[in-house]
Chains A and B, each alone.
Chain A
Amino acid sequence: MTRADWRRTWAIAWKDLLTEQRAKTAFNAMIFFAALTLFTFGFALGPDASGAGEAGGLLRHVAPGLIWVAILFSGVLAVDRSFQLEAERGGLEGLRLYPGDRKAIYFGKLIANLIVLFALEIVLIPVAGILYSIDIWPRLAGVAAVIAAGTIGFAAMGTYYAALTVNLRARQVLLPLLLFPVLIPVVIAAVKGMSLALNGDVMGEFGSWMRLLGAADVLFLTICALTFEFVLED
């Protein structure tokens, strides 16, 4: 990756974000879907589950898992779209023809996806806090660290598999089918980390889960970046 490649990376990320900011099609649907998911969990787990008065209501206890399920399900909608616009209008050919390293395309799309996902989470986390009566504000640093690290891992794999499945029939079924099994380390570490950040970390385990999350991020980014040039052959 030369300096020119990084400029290409930014250009692609900027273009994607601008398109999204003008159309807002994916983002609005995502926010709505994520909030609805959180809401539905409330119904599924019972009306008394949030029991604000009790020491630890059921909803509050399982909230870290519910939040991550909501992020994964709505996040798949975001990463799924990342190559779709180009594929529909034949723009992928153009991207392929540009000179320079193909990794620039991967990182550009990845950055755009990350920003969209972070924007989703900025809305989603307070909503979860309100619905499940969790006081997030005093524990914000830990929660933010887990969310950031978990989202990087998710976006790294999500962007990659979105590119891989872009020309597939039944793309929308296959993307989660391929993506979720390899994301298990991220899910486990992020839910554990978030649970420790929210409910207190008596045994001092937070650091090791964050290290596992960091290791997953580094591994995912490395193998995805190194093999991405094979993905975009036509």
Chain B
Amino acid sequence: MAQGQRIERLGWLAGWLAVPALGFGVYLSIFWAPEDFMMGNVQRIMYVHFPSWIATAISYLTAFVCSIAYLIKRRPTMDYLAHAGVSVGVLFNTTGLLTGSIWGRPTWGVWWTWDARLTTTALMLVIFLGYLAVRSFLEDPEARARIAALVATIGFFTLPIVYQSVKWWRTLHQPQSSPNTVDPDMVVALRVMFVAFALLAAYLISRRYALARVEGERERAELQAEA
């Protein structure tokens, strides 16, 4: 359980650091960063949109690594962390899609378009919602952990080819901006928001992990009481 305590302590640290980082980031992105030349104030949604995807990537990567680690080592801790990663990833995946949709309406004229990145991230959400659904339908803790880990692993491995296929299919989303083409003040605000969202994701994962651990321990105690 020492490992679990370390995860939770690091999570608390990330949570406390996230509070000033988020405050500072919001200040920078609303008052300090300049208005976009073409899109005006609408563009400021970028400071939530893009960091959401960073947080999504961190969460799903955690889930992927922990799923593989679970299949090899069979430690419940890895299963709890994978579950936490997917839960938090689904949250930020949703905020990313929602903010993108709100941003897309005034700039592209539509709420949704069948662009490669939009479609791939939406499919990613469906794949990991499937992961959560599978978990809820399995009672045996070990079978649930193993099957969930396989669903996450296969889902993760197929993402590149999903992206490639949809990209060939059609593409509208602007290519990634590089720091060279973006106003330096915007880059600063965006970087601060990256860090804030990364810390927030780490904190949420650690809380979800703590919950999964308590649930797992209760489940095991119940199974032992029955046996």
Contacts and interface: CB of A to CB of B under 8 A. Distances in A.
Prevailing SS type, chain A contact patch: helix
Nearest to A187: B165
Contacts of B17: none
Contacts, number: 78
B121 to A, nearest CB: 12
B165 A164 contact: no
B164 interface: yes
B154 A208 contact: no
Contacts of B161: 185, 212, 215-216, 219
A59 interface: no
B143 A181 contact: no
Interface string A67-111: 000000000000000000000000000000000000000000000
Interface stretch (A6-14, A16-24, A28-36, A169-177): A169-177
B75 to A, nearest CB: 15
A182 B165 CA distance: 12
B134 A174 contact: yes
Contact of A181 (B126, B138, B165): B126
B165 A184 contact: yes
A49 interface: no
Interface residues of A, number: 30
Given A170-B137, A188-B166, A219-B158, A227 B150 contact: yes
13 contacts: A168-B138, A178-B127, A178-B134, A181-B123, A185-B161, A188-B165, A215-B161, A216-B161, A216-B165, A219-B161, A223-B157, A227-B153, A230-B150
Interface of A: 160, 164-165, 167-170, 174, 177-178, 181-182, 184-185, 188-189, 192, 208-209, 212, 215-216, 219-220, 223-224, 227, 230-231, 233
Interface of B: 71, 123, 126-127, 130, 133-134, 137-138, 143, 146-147, 149-151, 153-155, 157-158, 161-162, 164-166, 168-169
